[in-house]
Structure 1
Amino acid sequence: MSTSNRRRAPGLDGSTILLLVGLTLAVLVLGTVWAAVTWGSKLDGVNPELSGDPFELFFGVLRGKVAWPGSATWIAVAAAVVILALGILLWVAIARARSKRTRVDEAARFMGKGKDLASLSAKNARATAQRLGVDGWIGVTIGVTIVGRQKLYASAEDMIVMVAGPRVGKSTSYVIPAIVDAPGAVVTTSNKRDVVDATRDVRAANGSTVWVFDPQGIAREEPSWWWNPLSYVTDDTRAARLAAHFASSTMTGGASENSSYFNRAGESLLAGFLLAAALDGRPITQIFTWTTRPGEIEPVKILERHGFIGMADAVAGEVNGEPKRRDSVYGTAAQMVDCLKIGKIARWVTALTGDAADDPRPQFSPEAFVRSKDTLYSLSMEGQGSAGPLVTALTAITVEAAEELATTQRRGRLSVPMLGVLDEAANVCRWRNLPDLYSHYGSRGIVLMTILQSWSQGVEVWGREGMRKLWSASNVKVYGGGVAETEFLGELSQLVGDYDKHTSSTSVGRGQRSTSHQIHRERTLDVSELSGMPRGRAVVFASGAPATLIETVPWMRGPHAGPVRASIAAHDPANTAVAAAAVPVQERAQAWVEAGTATDGEQDD
């Protein structure tokens, strides 16, 4: 059932408009005559007992009872010129305002505005930041309301979900501004290099070390640092969590019962392999090797030797299982870690020399990262050879490290909020438990912004109920247009609500004129309008506030426009390719190895 904002939209018929125009002209003529005669009489010394009543004066001039001073002529002309100039300026201003309006802006009159949006106001966001002890940061900019031009913010304890189709300005209006404004550490995912190029130098200028995790070479980064996923695995619980992140890349919300069975078995086997490799100091690539050798008993022996008997029994059950079923479980586990067989990817998660202590490159530590103001960009693309499982694991483990740090700080939350921008979340960061954790992270000082291209993307990853849970757990929900899913848009249309439209009709008969008025309810924004939302417009749904229509604010109109442009120019692939061509490949590779402690943010592409 849809709601109604109970606001009426009265229409003006032709006779009413003519009446208003006539009244305006009458007032202008009356005022001009009064001013011309009054001031002219004083200048010319006539009409000593002039009435102050503009109507009496006006009709006195018409009847010849009041003399028309000579000076009144040029005063009237001057007044007419001023009125004409002001009229032209007003017309130009209205024309410009109308030129910026879109076909959906009229609906903003019947949506949330003013005090309705107090929870998203700058005042509220600033008060929240002060209450939490956050300095120099109000929150994530959401946009500017169409009615009232009020700037809206998600505060330091709000969680954000955005659903918007491709090429509607998600990066320019949300991802990039949020990253460059963030006060503390930033974790962001993407399948393109544009966000990295636009923000890395701006973040570095503010004292942030830049880490670009680029196993598929999307941004053409060299592995000048590395991360060992097995450093996270300290017990069987953490092994199961890491296995779940790898499994998420192959599971979907609509998996069949049979595939779910083998997925669960493969995930359990993978957890055992991860724990065994971590306990024995093996590289993570050993996991893929074990998945290709059904019947290999070595992982079982390692687990038994370190006292993890339950995990050893679980792995042994698969090792000694019925061959046909065992091969299916091993094949499922191998699919989950398929990316580890690719050498280009393996360089990012294994030591160069086989011994982590001898690797000259810095090793990424999630625990150290969350205590800094550093920036982590994790990049991957869908399809064959995707590094998505590693991106998911790195992102989730880093956020978990932030959560653990928060439990040791005042009020159980980070003193400086950490921002997580999960762009292309359904393709790049398929984090299975995200819907369950979303609202919890808001209370820990971890502000997450999850961006999807459609509602069905989220359903594919988390299932129908999981996607609804993620949507409901978000304090701020943004729809940015570009989606053609009628069921989802129909629900949004109901959430926006209806308005009472007031119409009138006039009829003339038998010498009498009668006007009838009708009120009927209409959707504020219907499905077609939501689907065809113009670029630069978005609908915002916030907890405790009615839906509102906003204008998005791209980084080009923000305070960091200059530095962002400079960063884009500095890292443009065409420019960096020319610079790189002047240095032999072997020399470039040797340079970052010899740098030892240099970070990726200090190297050129």
Structure 2
Amino acid sequence: MSRERPKYQVKGGAAAAGAPPLLVLIALWGTVGLFFLFWLAARIVASLTGGTVGGFGMEWVVSLVVWDTGTVWPGTPTLPVVLLFGVFAALSAALLWWVLHRVRNALYGQPDAIGALNKDNETVAELARPEAADKAVRLRRTSLAGRRGRGLKDADVGLTIGDMRGDGNRTGARLFASWEDTVLAFMAPRAGKTTAMAIPYVLDAPGPALATSNKADVWSATARIREHTTGERVWLFDPQQVTHQGQEFWWNPLTDVRGVEEAYRLAGHFVLTIDDDSKKDMWGPAARALLSQLILAAALSGRSLSTVGEWLHDTKLPQPVDVLFEHGFTAYAEALRETQNIVAETRDGIYTTARTAARCLDDPRIMEWVTPPGDRPLPEFEPRSFVTSKQTLHLLSKSRAASAPLIAALTDAIFLAGEEASEAQGGRLDPPLVAVLDEAANICKIADLPDMYSHLGSRGIVPVTILQSYRQGVRVWTENGMEAMWSAATVKVFGAGLDDHKIVDALSKLIGQHDVSTTSFSYGEGKGNHSVQLRRQEIMQGSDIRQIDKGECLLFATAARPTILRMRPWYRTDRARLVTAAIKDAEELITTGARARYDAPRGA
């Protein structure tokens, strides 16, 4: 973030008029210095050309003023003398300005935001080497067994947040999110969230990696590299053909649905995608209950989600009620039958809301990804196997599209599988699972994600939720939910483009204040007087936070002072050429797939 130091203030109208003696003295010696530079330039040129120069004094100065070159430097060419004098004068002026600037800053200069935040900030030591490396060894006792912190690569230490800003263009310590941190990032589009966070974090994941996105950029940059470096499979869940690649696996969301709790949780992913908040508030709870009843009935009878979609279009169908009765879920069966038999207007409102939330169940192209493939030899994705591997899963969906609930459901299934696996490993996944939830508020709306933030990190699951703004998160998880996520996130990152005045003002207060000096100067009765007053001022005002440069971020970490960092996008690392080549190859695949789809007959 480029900032000029605030200029110290000069107060008092007599200052300018009362300083003539000092100004006269400076002007006098400055003039003498200029004449001396002319004499020095003449001496140097004379020594090279065989000419002569008179001694420096008043007579020589008077002769120069009247431009009697034959007297001041006889036998010496004039043009080289003038040119050399110009060089000396320019260098002297630059030197004088530098000295005065340094003196002024030392006496009266105000520290800028970066200096005030980053200078002597020892509270972030836990995020930097060697503490961060030693912590990684403690957290990953199995995968880093026998290793020492000082020998770890950055990718083993943690997720790189950025480098501390120093004076000028210098960088300081590199800071990392540890393998027990939970990360919450707020960045506007094209502020570095993909290049400096999503792509590097997927590439650096020591164990399984999960990434959600509404574009193909993260998959393009990481898929081939992850497959090569880990030697394990890269899965692509892309029901809406964002990458134009064919389907290579399927996943059954009903596999782990054994009771009311699992069914109700799965139904919540659908209802949370309803865009109409008034409709969601009025009919949402009833629609979620209806969906959970139908989901449980389908799971108990060995059916798929497609069957749930069919049942939603028949408000009087007795089959799901009978299934629930047969498996002992009497209360759930009675509730479903009651919904089917209530007043038509109410029943239709509930069913319509449920159909709206679960509209993906009516799309056969989407359902192919979550129903048995029939005669097609497609493997089934198993979350339990994934979380104990080094595989990679990319979940793609267009923003607020029909398939978004399935993205949230699969992400949630992986989190739950990771929690179970961590218990079997003594309480923590090793190597840890990295989950980059880009566009989380649009395509990965997990209802209790704010609550999960309080314990995922301790299980060896590192979530990185990336939002465009705080208000975007409020629209999904409500104000209370966002406050819970904010409090539970141990690492909070704020990039360029924050326009929410409430958030930037709140951050300004959290950053704190520092002392700013104001200097006044006056002159009277033959003597000068100056004084310095201190006042408290915000280190970074809201306008400063809003103007954070692209490629930089403001970091809030637990028990540490805020700090300004320069982020590390992949194209500024030693793997830039490798990622560039991977992106180029992936773009060719996307282009080929798009052309094949465009040229295919309609309905194929």
TM range (shorter): 0.7 to 0.9
> Residues 105 and 297 from structure 1, CA distance in 2 versus in 1: closer, same or farther, beyond 3 angstroms?
farther
2:250 to 226, 229, 232: 226
Render the CA deviation track for 1:149-200: whole Å, top value 9, x for unaligned: 1111011111100011111111011111111011000111111101110011
Q: CA deviation at 1:298?
A: 0.6
Give 1:322 shift: 1.9
Matched, 1:376 2:405: no
Letter in 2 for 1:283: S
CA contact (8 A) 2:244 2:593 kept: no
Q: Partner of 1:107 in structure 2? A: 113
Distance (whole Å) between structure 1 residues aligned to residue 272 and residue 590 of structure 2 = 35
Task: Show the counterpart of 2:579.
Answer: 564
Does 1:250 pair with 2:274?
yes
Match of 2:187 in 1: 164
Which residue among 514, 521, 535 is the counterpart of 1:506? 521
**Matches of 1:461 and 1:584, distance apart in 2:** 35
CA 1:449 to 1:328, structure 2 compared with 1: closer, same or farther past 3 Å? same
How far, CA to CA, are the matches of 1:390 and 1:347 in structure 2?
12
Give, in whole Å, the separation in 1 of the partners of 2:493 and 2:198.
13
> Contact 1:180–1:202 (CA<8 Å) still a contact in 2?
yes
Of 179, 188, 204, the match for 1:181:
204
Contact map agreement 1:235 1:275 (CA 8 A) in 2:
yes
Measured in 1, the distance between the counterparts of 2:356 and 2:545 equals 39
In the alignment, which residue of structure 2 is the partner of 1:387? 403
Whether the 8 Å contact between 1:193 and 1:219 is mirrored in structure 2 is yes
Match status 1:428 vs 2:435: no
Tell me by how many angstroms 1:475 deviates.
0.6
Q: Secondary structure at the match of 1:122?
A: coil
Q: Distance in 2 between matches of 1:182 and 1:489?
A: 31
Q: How many residues of Structure 1 are paired with residues of Structure 2 in the alignment?
A: 502
Tell me by how many angstroms 1:202 deviates.
Answer: 1.1
SS of structure 2 residue aligned to 1:396: helix
2:207–2:430: 8 Å Cα contact kept in structure 1? no
CA distance 1:582–1:282, change in 2 (3 Å): closer
After the TM superposition, which residues 62-73 of structure 1 pair with which residues of structure 2 at under 5 Å, given as runs? none
Listed as ranges, the matches of 1:343-354 within 5 Å are 343-353=364-374
Counterpart code for 2:403: A
For 1:580 and 1:335, how far apart are their aligned partners in 2? 29
| TM-score (normalised: structure 1) | 0.77
Find the aligned partners of 1:172 and 1:108 in 2 and give their Cα distance.
Answer: 23
Aligned twin of 1:144: 163
Corresponding residue SS for 1:198: helix
Question: Does residue 263 of structure 1 match 2:284?
Answer: yes
Alignment RMSD (CA, Å): 3.4
Asked whether the 8 Å contact 2:244–2:590 carries over to 1, the reply is no
Per-residue CA shift, 1:198-219, capped at 9, x if unaligned?
0111111122311111111111
Structure 1 runs not aligned, ≥5 long: 1-7, 27-80, 95-103, 591-605
Percent identity between matched residues is: 38
CA distance in 2, matches of 1:536, 1:290: 50
Residues 500 and 520, structure 1, Cα contact 8 Å, conserved in 2: yes
In structure 2, C-alpha distance between the alignment counterparts of 1:167 and 1:201, rounded to whole Å: 24
User: In the alignment, does 2:134 pair up with 1:127?
Assistant: yes
Moved over 6 A (4+): 12-16, 579-586
Shift of 1:116: 2.2
Tell me, in whole angstroms, the C-alpha distance in 2 between the residues paired with 1:467 and 1:338. Answer: 27
Residue type of the alignment partner of 1:394 = L
- Indicate yes or no: 2:463 matched with 1:445: no
Q: How does 1:10-89 map to 2 (within 5 A)?
A: none
Alignment check: 8 A CA contact 1:211 1:375 kept: yes
Whole-angstrom CA distance in 2 between matches of 1:231 and 1:582: 34
Aligned partners of 1:502 and 1:518 also within 8 Å: yes
Task: Give the TM-score normalised by the residue count of structure 2.
Answer: 0.77
CA contact (8 A) 1:297 1:319 kept: no
Q: Tell me the secondary structure at the aligned position of residue 440 of structure 1.
A: coil
- Which residue identity does 1:569 align to in structure 2? K
Distance 2:565 2:338 in 1: 57
Judge conservation of contact 2:360–2:403 (CA < 8 Å) in 1: yes
Instruction: Assess, with a 3 A threshold, how the Cα gap between structure 1 residues 325 and 164 changes in structure 2: closer, same or farther.
Output: same
Which of 324, 327, 330 is the matching residue for 1:306? 327
| Partner in structure 2 of residue 292 of structure 1 | 313
Q: Which residue of 2 aligns with 1:118?
A: 125
Shift of 1:397: 0.7
Instruction: Tell me: CA distance 1:152–1:331, structure 2 relative to 1, closer, same or farther (3 Å).
Output: same
Structure-1 separation of matches of 2:357 and 2:467: 23
What SS does structure 2 have at the residue aligned with 1:443? helix
Give distance in 2, aligned partners of 1:363 and 1:129. 34
Matched ranges for 1:586-605 at <5 A:
none
State the one-letter code of the partner of 1:280.
Answer: S
